[in-house]
Structure 1
Amino acid sequence: MYINSDAATPSMSQGGAKSAKPIRGFCQRLKGKQGRFRGNLSGKRVDFSGRTVISPDPNLRIDQVAVPDRVAKVLTYPETVTRYNRKKLQKLIINGPDVHPGANYLNKKNEEVKRNLRYGDRNKLAKFLSIGDVVERHIEDGDIVLFNRQPSLHRLSILSHFAKVMPWRTFRFNECVCTPYNADFDGDEMNLHVPQTEEARAEAMNLMGVKNNLLTPKSGEPIIAATQDFITGSYLISGKDSFYDRATFTQLLCMMSDADVLYDIPPPTIYKPHFMWTGKQLFSLLIKPNHKSNVLINLDAKNKTFVPPPKGQPNEMSPNDGFLIIRNSQVLAGVMDKSTLGDGKKHSVFYTILRDYGAVEAAKAMNRMAKLCARFLGNRGFSIGINDVTPSEDVKAKKEVLVENAYAKCDELIQLYKDGKLETQPGCNEEQTLEAKIGGLLSKLWF
């Protein structure tokens, strides 16, 4: 009855008569139009929720969401006064509803009705704030919020993030988390819900936290991983011909971590005529920044465009540097591309870190990669023109040959049909067989 009151037999009251109203079990609270999902989460009319347009921000951690200050002033969290937070909450009460961080309401423990802090003497209320009162304070940095994009098609369409209050009018989050929401930034809007109790916050953080859902429950592959610009930047940095002098190399390391991580700079790859470091060394430090980090991963993986080496030679001798080899977190060969950083691949760098060292280390590596690639591409520049997507004469000629061959085969089939020599497929007459065979031939031309 506690879980599902439909399945349980109707309980008998002490008098022997059936209880008038069935108990609402967990199932009843969740399902149906009035349940949690349809009634309170998907519906437009819920308290403590906001909705606005979304934007990308690669400088946020993957488990953060930027909340506009004007939203943070309206959405509140009821914090109970203790001896530890009393001074903080007194300041918030004095700030009131119009200054962030502030508070909108005060609920005294011995009063029925809560007080609106827009009116009355806030200094006096703050002075007499007692332990056990509840202050409905604005959302502040580090609060747990639920973030959702409709249509909610799978479990990962609602995840919990840590709030980061920022100016302007949009919700912002790291592009690595676009895939589970299926979000893009062409005008999409998303919803934000603020859990109202400590239990709800703890559950949201542990069950729905971004770090705890890096893998899709469908197949166990990474779903939160590098996309778009991040893959482009990583590919350009880790190429065979990417060399950096000490100033540039250290600059890139600072970009990667906002200059708050100690890096053990390795010896340069090239000593003469100048000291030069490679992009592969940069990625080695992205995975394991210093000797205190215990992340030591080994990985062998084919790149997206792996060209096999001449017979008898090992894979790392691939002529286009198309085989990634990592030993003890040192990138020895290969480039970083979609197959080694992207989602849906079980032999990716992030999956290996996640499997061996847990979600926190995988998320840290992902955060470093996002910051590095966004800032690197911002300085280097990267553009695509109409020439890049126009087929060359060679490709056009090959296409013509393919199309002509397919048309010739179709003409042969039509002739066989006219002559009555076409072998019919099981369950089809001659016309249906012709249709199926021509359809099969022509559908192979889509490339």
Structure 2
Amino acid sequence: MVVGVGVTAFYTTTQHHTLSVSVFLLNRKTTGSLKIIHERYDPKKNSSQHEAYKNSFEEALKYNEGLRPHLSKIADDLNPLRAQALFEAIPEEDCGVLDIVGRPEHLVVTTIAVPPMAIRPSVEMDGVSNEDDISMKLMQIVEVNGVLRQGLEKGLPITNLMENWDFLQTQCAMLINSDMPGVPPQHQTTGRPLRGFVQRLKGKQGRFRGNLSGKRVDFSGRTVISPDPNLQIDQVCVPQHMAVVLTYPERVTVHNLDKLKLRVLNGTALWPGANFVVHPDGEKTFLKFGDRRKIAADLKVGYTVERHLEDGDVVLFNRQPSLHRISIMAFKAKIKPFRTLRFNECVCSPFNADFDGDEMNIHVPQTEEARAEALHLMGSIANLPTPKNGGIEISATQDFLTCAFLVTAKDTFFTRAEMCLLTSYMSDACDPVDLVAPAILKPLELWTGKQLFSMLVRPNARTRIFLNLEVAEKIYSKKGEHMCPVDGYVCFRNSELICGRVGKSYAVVLLHML
């Protein structure tokens, strides 16, 4: 059996083994899905050869005058056998010139591999065995091949043989790709298209996207996302409902023995608790049914406790489709109630995420090595610039930019109570904030929005951050710089905002400096 599937270029040699591929490549055309025609006798391109070839039909025209109208359409049918013969005629030294690895005749399929039954199982239903599409197609190929072999032995008419030959070509091609265009209706054995190898691999339900990239795994979760501006850009809020299912195997040491005993006592339902205790010999105890008090009392160094996810644990955060490297990054978990995954909206850009119903995945690394690699190589802090062109991907956006622009206006003032309240919002209550002297003393102490923003950059004297930069914002009038009429020129001196309304340009430049 010789099957010509996907043959697209042909070659011939002269007696001196010179290359003459160009004639075939220029004058070939595809008719239908499988047939390739060589327009060797096209009267517009080679009139003398066409006339000579027409004259060779004079004898046939004596017996069948109906051939005459079709002589102008003479073409050379490059069937698979001819293609294989042309490929075999290529000498070995010319294969290097054509940059072909191996022999070119191997491009023509002459043998079809039969896949194992594991990927084409028979399904028995109501006492009837339903064969897989691949099995049905292989049966048809074997049957037609047998008919061709018997036809050659018995000398059947050439018309019958060619019909079976074309049917064999189509069935072999449909085994690979059943959605092939141009398949004759008489070659469609069923009303619906069968699933070939290509259909099993491509698409959302195919092997790659459905079973490899999107397979179901342990220690992962998926739910709707929502914004939380109070989270840091390296944090993701994990619902407590997920945290009691997702676990991390923490080995018991002298430093964490007391903590893990409390986790074991809390059990599987109460967060923060634990689900399993693994003994050094590999024995595993499920805390839902065991005596937790006894298990906690027997806990020793060397045991492993599969505890619930807790604050600070490293998780991988991913949004599909994962189109580039930063579609999956590492974050630190923050366990909170309710049912959505939450993160700072400044991190939406790398994921191309919005909050109109998007869902995202989290994965919990299970070893210390995996956690360390994820945090340092895939952490959001380590991936602020995009690998595409070095531009900043994670920066202030939406409400953050609007607030910064409004707060740093020239006519924005705050009382002492408002100033203290806003600075408490900006701090994490760990480091003290030095309240600077007010800009206006009488008749009421007032602080400007620029002073508030300066305190955000450098909250107290012990903070050794001295920011110095000048940048023109989008609203800059291009005259006056520091005395711009619309206050569009931002200037920082030793972490103090001297002039300008902070916008997106400042946020991007600041992140570049950091």
Alignment correspondent of 2:499 = 333
In 2, Cα distance between equivalents of 1:256 and 1:138: 31
Instruction: Identify unmatched segments of 5+ residues in structure 1.
Output: 1-31, 355-447
**Does the alignment pair 1:248 with 2:418?**
yes
Q: 1:164 to 1:41 in 2, by over 3 A?
A: farther
**1:298-337 aligned within 5 A:** 298-309=468-479, 314-337=480-503
- Does residue 350 (structure 1) correspond to residue 511 (structure 2)? The answer is yes
Q: Which aligned segments of 4 or more residues in structure 1 are displaced greater than 4 angstroms? A: 37-41
Higher relative contact order, structure no. (Cα contacts within 8 Å, ≥ 6 residues apart):
1
Q: Of the two, which has the highest radius of gyration?
A: 2
Q: Deviations over 1:315-344 (max 9, x none)?
A: 112111111111111111110112222xxx
Mapped pair 1:158 → 2:339: no
Q: Distance in 2 between matches of 1:303 and 1:86?
A: 55
| 1:339-381 deviation digits (Å, cap 9, x = unpaired) | 222xxx4xx23333x1xxxxxxxxxxxxxxxxxxxxxxxxxxx
In the alignment, structure 1 residue 93 sits paired with structure 2 residue 264: yes
- Determine if the alignment matches structure 1 residue 74 to structure 2 residue 242: no
Compared CA separation, residues 132 and 191, structure 1 to 2 (3 A): same
Distance 1:133 1:276 in 2: 60
Decide whether the 8 Å contact of 1:105 with 1:137 is kept in 2. yes
Read off the aligned partner of 1:332 and give its amino acid letter. Answer: I
Match of 1:135 among 293, 297, 305: 305
The match for 2:275 among 68, 86, 104 is 104
Q: How does 1:257-296 map to 2 (within 5 A)?
A: 257-296=427-466
1:397-425: per-residue Cα shift (whole Å, max 9, x none)? Answer: xxxxxxxxxxxxxxxxxxxxxxxxxxxxx
Name the CA distance, whole Å, in 2 between partners of 1:296 and 1:108: 53
Are the aligned partners of 1:244 and 1:278 in contact in 2 as well (CA < 8 Å)? Answer: yes
Q: Partners in 2 of 1:59 and 1:169 — Cα distance?
A: 17
Does 2:395 align with 1:225?
A: yes
Deviation, structure 1 residue 65: 0.8
Give the letter for the 1:302 counterpart: A
CA contact (8 A) 1:283 1:331 kept: yes
Does residue 48 (structure 1) correspond to residue 214 (structure 2)? The answer is no
Contact 1:307 1:322 in 2 (8 A): yes
Q: What one-letter code is carried by the residue in structure 1 that aligns with 2:223?
A: T
Residue 294 (structure 2) aligns with: 124
For 1:246 and 1:147, the matched residues in 2 are separated by 41
AA of the residue aligned to 1:162: K
State the shift of 1:130 in Å: 1.9
Q: Distance in 2 between matches of 1:335 and 1:223?
A: 22
Q: What is the correspondence of 1:345-384 to structure 2 with a 5 Å cutoff?
A: 345=508, 348-352=509-513, 354=514
Consecutive unaligned residues in structure 2, runs of 5 or more: 1-200, 203-207
Aligned residues of 1:308 and 1:319 also touching (Cα < 8 A): no
Shift of 1:194: 0.2
Residue of 377, 383, 398 corresponding to 1:207: 377
1:271 aligned counterpart, secondary structure:
coil
Task: Give the CA deviation at 1:272.
Answer: 2.6
Q: 2:239 is matched by which residue type in structure 1?
A: P
Match among 281, 284, 304 for residue 114 of structure 1: 284
Shift of 1:308: 2.1
Per-residue displacement from partner, 1:23-70 (whole Å, max 9, x unpaired)? xxxxxxxxx99xxx9799842311100000001111111111111111
Equivalent position of 2:69 in the other structure = none
Cα distance in 2 between the residues matched to 1:268 and 1:97: 54
Amino acid at match of 2:510: V
SS at match of 1:235: helix
Provide the C-alpha distance between the structure 1 equivalents of 2:466 and 2:384, rounded to a whole number of angstroms: 20
SS of structure 2 residue aligned to 1:153: coil
State the alpha-carbon separation in 2 of the partners of residues 200 and 104 from structure 1. Answer: 21
| Amino acid aligned to 1:251 | L
Q: Equivalent residues in 2 for 1:171-210 (5 A)?
A: 171-210=341-380
Q: Identify the residue that residue 393 of structure 1 maps to in structure 2.
A: none
| Post-superposition offset of 1:260 | 3.5
Q: Deviations over 1:47-106 (max 9, x none)?
A: 100000001111111111111111001111111111111121111112111111111111
2:392 aligned partner, one-letter code: P
Letter in 1 for 2:462: K
Alpha-carbon RMSD across the aligned residues, in angstroms, is: 1.9
TM-score, normalization by structure 1: 0.66
CA–CA distance in structure 2, aligned partners of residues 230 and 77 of structure 1:
35
Aligned residues: 309
